[in-house]
Amino acid sequence: MSALTVSGLNKSFGGLHVTRSVDLDIQPGERRLIIGPNGAGKTTLFNLITGELSPDTGSIRLFGQDITKVPSRDRPHLGMARTYQIITLFGKDTIIHNVRLALLGLSPMRWNPWTDLRRDGRFTEQGHRALARVGLTHIADRPLSQTSYGERRRVEIAMALAQEPKVLLLDEPFAGLSIDERRDVHKCLMAIPRDVTIVMIEHNMDVALEFAERITLLHFGEVIVEGNRAEVVEDPRTREVYLGH
C-alpha cells in the first residue's frame, strides 16, 4: 500500500490554474523530492496535501484512507506532519516550549485547563528527545528570539519529528541556510528512520539530489517529469524548465 497517493488533483485561484491533474504515488519509507521553478505550485501542492487548501477535484489518500475531506487539523492525528518554508514558530517562547506545543497537539491533554504544563515531565522529556534528534538539547531552554536562523530551521524539524509522523512534508528545509547550517540540517534529515516517508520541496539541488530517491518535477502546476535521480537529471525537459543549461 502506498504511503501517500494523490490522484487527479486540481486547484484554481480564479483564472489561475495552479495545480493541474497532479498524480503522485509515494511508497512507505520513500524519500521524494519535488522540484520546479518559482511559481510551479510546489507549496500549493503541499497545502492541498495537508488540507490547508481544499482541492477543486481529485483525491488524497494516506495509507489507503481517503483524507480529501478530512480537516487539516485532524491530519496530524493521522500521521502527517509538515514544516514551513517561512519559519512559523512561537517566537516569545523557549525552544523546548515550541516542541512541547507540537507534542501537546496530538495529546488529549491539550484540553486540560488545570494542570501545570511546565511541570508535566512527560512533555518535557519527550521534547528533549525530539531536540536530541536535531542536536539542540543543549539550548532547549533558550528563548527562540535568541537563536540563529539555522537553529530555528532545526526546531521546525524537531517539532515535526516530535509528532512521530508516518509521512513528513518538508517545505524547503534548506532555504536561507549557510553551508555549515545546511550540513547540520542534512545530517538531521539523514538520521530519520525509514519508517517515516519524506516528501521534500527543495531548490538547493546539491543537498536535495543526494537525499532523494525519486524526483517529481512540477512546472506550471503540472507534473512534467518523474523518476529516479538519474532519469530526472538526464531528462531534456528538466534541463529546459529547471536547470536552464
Partner 1 sequence: MIDLIAGTNRLRLIAIAVVLAALVTLPFWVSGIYYINVGSQILFFAVFALGLNILVGYAGLVSLGHAGLFGISAYATAYMLQLGAGHTTAIMVALVIGVASMAVFAVLSLRSSGIGFIMITLALGQILWGLAYRWISVTDGDNGIPVRGRPAPFGYSLTDPVNFYYASLIVFIVAVAMVFIFVRSPFGAALMGTRDQPRRMNALGYHVWMIRFYACLFSGLLTAVSGILFVYYTNFISPQTLALTASAEVLLMVISGGPGTLLGPIVGATLVVVIKTVVSGFIERWNFLLGAIFVAIVILVPEGIVPGSVRLWHLIARKRAATPAAAEAEPTATERTP
Q: Minimum distance between the CB of residue 207 and partner 1, rounded to whole angstroms?
A: 24
Q: Which three cell numbers stand for residue 82?
A: 509538515
Q: Minimum distance between the CB of residue 65 and partner 1, rounded to whole angstroms?
A: 16
**Residue 77 lies near partner 1 (rule: CB under 8 A):** yes
**Residue 159 lies near partner 1 (rule: CB under 8 A):** yes
**Torsion angle (degrees, nearest 10) of CA 195, 230, 62, 101:** 60
Stretch that binds partner 1, among 8-16, 22-30, 75-83, 185-193 (CB under 8 A): 75-83
Amino acid at 207: V
**Residue 120 lies near partner 1 (rule: CB under 8 A):** yes
Query: From its phi and psi, is residue 140 left (phi > 0), alpha (psi between -120 and 50) or beta?
Result: alpha
Q: Minimum distance between the CB of residue 226 and partner 1, rounded to whole angstroms?
A: 27
**CB under 8 Å, gap of 24 or more: what pairs does 233-237 form?**
233/209
Query: From its phi and psi, is residue 217 left (phi > 0), alpha (psi between -120 and 50) or beta?
Result: beta
Closer CB to partner 1, 3 or 103, in the complex: 103
Contact 134, 157 (CB under 8 A): yes
Residues 97-116 that bind partner 1 (CB under 8 A): 97, 100-102, 104-107, 109-116
Task: For Cα atoms 167, 42, 57, give the angle at the middle one, nearest 5 degrees.
Answer: 80
By three-state DSSP, how is residue 231 classified?
helix
What is the per-residue DSSP string for 149-205? HHHHHHHHHHHHHHT--SEEEEE-TTTT--HHHHHHHHHHHHTS-TTSEEEEE-S-H
Q: How many CA atoms lie within 13 A of 103 on its CB side?
A: 23
**Residue 122 lies near partner 1 (rule: CB under 8 A):** no
**Residue 143 lies near partner 1 (rule: CB under 8 A):** no
**Residue 148 lies near partner 1 (rule: CB under 8 A):** no
Kindly write out the interface string for residues 189-218 of this chain, putting x where it contacts partner 1 by CB under 8 A and - elsewhere. ------------------------------
**Residue 163 lies near partner 1 (rule: CB under 8 A):** yes
Closer CB to partner 1, 141 or 231, in the complex: 141
**Residue 94 lies near partner 1 (rule: CB under 8 A):** no
β-sheet with 4-13: strand ranges across: 16-26, 4-13, 57-62, 65-66
**Residue 50 lies near partner 1 (rule: CB under 8 A):** yes
Q: Which of 72, 126, 137, 204 binds partner 1 (CB under 8 A)?
A: 72
Contacting residues toward partner 1, per CB under 8 A = 50, 52, 72-77, 82, 84, 88-92, 97, 100-102, 104-107, 109-118, 120, 139, 142, 159, 163
